[in-house]
Structure 1
Amino acid sequence: MERYYRVLELEPGATLEEVNQAYKDLVFVWHPDRIPKDNLRLQKKAQEKLQAINEAREKLRSFNVKHQSIYHSSPVKQPVQHKKPSPSTSQPPKQSSDLSGKDFSRSNLSNKDLSGRNLSYANLSGADLSDTFMHKVNLRGANLSEANLFRANLLLADMREANLRSANLIGADLSGADLRGADLTGARIRSGERLLVKLIGANLAGAIMPDGVIHG
C-alpha cells in the first residue's frame, strides 16, 4: 500500500479525500491531451503515469472502503440503521450536481472540482475559477464574463453560447471543448504573439473571437 501512496505523492495513512484530491491534481498534470501529440516520448510517459495513478487511486479507495465497512459493521455501530429511511441523506449529492442557473458571481471557486457538473446558464461573472478542474462540465449559455479561468481544466466542456467576454483564459486547457457561438470578445488568450490557451480539437464554429471576428 505504501507504494500506491508514493505514486500519489502522499504519506501513508492519507484520508480518502486526500487520495481523491491528489488523483485529480496528478491527472491534471499528466493528462495526455496536455502533451503535444508529436512528442511520442512524453505521450508514452504520460500514458504510463496515468495508468499508475489510476491503479493507485483504485487500490487506496478499495483499501479505505474496506476498512470503513469493517468499522461500521461493529456491533457498537448497529444503531445507525435509523438513518437509512431518510431520503434526504442520499439526495443532496445528486441535487448538487445540477447547478444550472445558479448565481456564483464573484465567487471564489479556485481549485474546486466541478467536473461533470451542470452549470448551464449559471452566473459566474467575475468568479475566480483558477486551477479549477472542470472536465466535461456543462457551461452552455453560462455567464463567465470577467471570470478568472487561469490554468482551468475545461477538457471536453460544453461551452456553447457561453459569455466569456473579458475572461482570463491564460493557461486554460479547452481541448475538445464545444465553443460554438461563444462570445470571447476581449478575452485574454495570449501574451504578445504567443497563444497561451490550449484549443486542440475545440469547436469554435460561430464563436466571436477576442478581436471581435466571428470564427468561420
Structure 2
Amino acid sequence: MQELSAKELLSQYAEGRRNFGAIALNRANLFEANLEDIDLEGSHLVQLHMPYANLSYANLQKTQILEVEFGDIQLYHSNLADATLRTSNLSRANLRSGNLRGATLCDINLQGADLYNADLRSVHLRNVDLQRANLERARLEGATFVGCNLFRAKGINLSPLECDRTVAPDGFWLGVGEPDTPEN
C-alpha cells in the first residue's frame, strides 16, 4: 500500500489522476478539498480533517475510514460499499443516493446527515448517532442497528428484528436489555 501526503494527493489529482486505489493517507488536512469522482478503493484513511470537502461520485469501496472529521462533507452518489467507518464525525454529511451496502459503521456521528435514497442494505451500525438524519427512501433490508440513536430521524421504518438497544425516532427504546449486556 502506497503512502501519500495530502500535498501529493492534491497535486496528482490536479494533474488529472483519479485512480488512487489502495493508498494510505494519514493525518492529512484536506479542508474544503474538491476531489469529486476520486477512486480510493481499498485505501486506509486515518485521522483526516476534511470538513466541507467534496467527494461526490467517489469510490470508497472497501476503504478503512478511521477517526476522520467529515462534517458537512459532500458524498453524494459515492460508493462506500463494504467500507469500515470507525470513530468519525460525518454530521450533516450529504450521502444522498450513496451506496453503503454491507458497510460497517461504529461510533459514528451522522447527526443531520442526508441519506435520502441511500443503499443501506446489510449495513451494520453500532453506536451511530442518526439524530435528525434524513433516511427517506433509504433501502434498509438486512441492516442492523445496535445502540444507535434515531431520535427525530426522518423517513425511517424499523422493526424490532432489525435493531436492538436503539432509540427510535419517537424517543422510545427498541429491542431488549441495556446496552452491552448479554441477552438471556
User: How high is the TM-score relative to the length of structure 1?
Assistant: 0.53
Give 1:115's match in structure 2, choosing from 61, 65, 77: 61
What corresponds to 1:4 in structure 2? none
Give 1:135's match in structure 2, choosing from 47, 63, 81: 81
CA contact (8 A) 1:111 1:131 kept: yes
Could you tell me how far apart the structure 2 residues matched to 1:157 and 1:103 are?
Answer: 21
Query: How far 1:94 moved relative to its partner?
Result: 3.5
**Aligned-partner residue type, residue 208 of structure 1:** N
State yes or no: 1:197 paired with 2:138: yes
Give 2:115's match in structure 1, choosing from 155, 169, 178: 169
Indicate the structure (1 or 2) with the bigger Cα radius of gyration. 1
Could you tell me how far apart the structure 1 residues matched to 2:174 and 2:106 are?
Answer: 14
Query: How far 1:161 moved relative to its partner?
Result: 1.6
What corresponds to 1:28 in structure 2? none
Give 2:100's match in structure 1, choosing from 154, 167, 171: 154
Q: What 5-or-longer segments of structure 1 have no aligned partner?
A: 1-16, 21-91, 191-195
Kindly provide the CA deviation profile for residues 104-144 of structure 1, in whole angstroms up to 9, marking residues without a partner as x: 11100000101111112211110000100111111122211
Query: How far 1:214 moved relative to its partner?
Result: 4.6
Kindly provide the CA deviation profile for residues 67-108 of structure 1, in whole angstroms up to 9, marking residues without a partner as x: xxxxxxxxxxxxxxxxxxxxxxxxx94424111221111100
Query: How far 1:173 moved relative to its partner?
Result: 0.7
Could you tell me how far apart the structure 2 residues matched to 1:213 and 1:131 are?
Answer: 32
Change (3 A) 1:167 1:215: farther
What SS class does the counterpart of residue 171 from structure 1 fall into? coil
**Aligned-partner residue type, residue 47 of structure 2:** G
Tell me which protein shows more helix as a share of its residues.
1
Tell me which protein shows more strand as a share of its residues.
2
Kindly provide the CA deviation profile for residues 32-55 of structure 1, in whole angstroms up to 9, marking residues without a partner as x: xxxxxxxxxxxxxxxxxxxxxxxx
What corresponds to 2:24 in structure 1? 95
What corresponds to 2:148 in structure 1? 207
Change (3 A) 1:188 1:101: same
Could you tell me how far apart the structure 1 residues matched to 2:108 and 2:173 are?
Answer: 14
What corresponds to 1:39 in structure 2? none
Pairwise CA RMSD: 2.2
Kindly provide the CA deviation profile for residues 171-192 of structure 1, in whole angstroms up to 9, marking residues without a partner as x: 11111111111000000112xx
Could you tell me how far apart the structure 2 residues matched to 1:175 and 1:141 are?
Answer: 21
